[in-house]
Chains A and B, each alone.
Chain A
Amino acid sequence: MPIIKWKVGIVSCSGEEIPEGTISRVATRLVLEKLRPDETVTICLPLFLAGGEGERTFAKVFPTITVDGCEKRCAEKGTMKYSGKPFATIVVTDSLKKCPDVGLKSRDQLSSEELVLAEKVAEEIAKKVDEALNQEMKQLRSEKP
């Protein structure tokens, strides 16, 4: 019997127009590379939207977490349209409301303050990853004969 390791797909917005988009991408990379490297994969949003079958199929089968930089919620909308409801959605502008003193400046290089914000968003994502995997495990256990 094949062993399937459950993974969570993180779909980050491209967010090239605003610094919050850079926070989305940096936070996503922190989760993929440092916080939950074995439990997560990323889904390339432009490829997903362009019709990437692998990406769309993955997002239909495995739980996804969308990370959007702004209220346009492009990652969430795209995932809903092509693969179904994400397990969780994170909007960086909402997360930043908890840190009103930090003004975001550049899309290119994050300052040390901005990097701390990205780390906080990454922790939020990691928490959702754990919740998604716990839910999948519970469901698997309940389906056992």
Chain B
Amino acid sequence: MSEKGKVVVVACAGMDKPLGSVTSASVFKVVEKLRPRNVELVCIPPLLSGVSSHSELIRNLPVITVDGCAERCATKLIVKSGGKIRGRIFVPDSVKKHNLLPESASHLGPNGEKLVENIAEEIAAEVDRLVQET
């Protein structure tokens, strides 16, 4: 597959909040199950450490950011690093939309798992939209 059908997904890792775990689990579902051929997952810390392959990816491909809290670290850091954000998912909005909350950061529980499935579908829909546009 050429770079043409590819989209970068950048998620906050959010170790300190349950919604951070939801964020990570959602992007894993997209990259491993829903759209493995279309998604490049870029991890924030190596991007900021200056790993050149990561910088090239976020500059050359459309980026979807997935943020777990109001700090919106993924979005802020991609803007700062010169990435082209073409889609954004804000997990607290998805929580309201689906009325589902995880039990804790380490145990998402049935509602948390359902929330992960829904957010993964939202990300996958954004991926499809961007792939169509390229």
Q: Which residues of A contact B (CB under 8 A)?
A: 12-17, 21, 25-26, 28-30, 33, 42-47, 49-50, 52, 72, 74-75, 77-78, 106-108
What total count of A-B pairs have CB within 8 Å? 97
B31 to chain A minimum Cβ distance, whole angstroms, is 8
Q: Is B25 within 8 A of A108, CB to CB?
A: yes
Report the separation of the CA atoms of residues A106 and B32 in the bound assembly, to the nearest whole angstrom.
Answer: 8
Q: What size tier do the contact residues of chain B reach?
A: 20 to 34
Q: Is B11 within 8 A of A42, CB to CB?
A: no
CB-defined contacts of B95 to chain A, threshold 8 Å: none
Q: Is A44 within 8 A of B14, CB to CB?
A: yes
Interface residue ranges of B2-27 to A (CB < 8 Å): 11-17, 20, 24-25, 27
Q: Is B46 within 8 A of A44, CB to CB?
A: no
B17 to chain A minimum Cβ distance, whole angstroms, is 8
B124 at interface, CB cutoff 8 A: no
B49 at interface, CB cutoff 8 A: yes
Report the separation of the CA atoms of residues A103 and B124 in the bound assembly, to the nearest whole angstrom.
Answer: 29
A15 to chain B minimum Cβ distance, whole angstroms, is 7
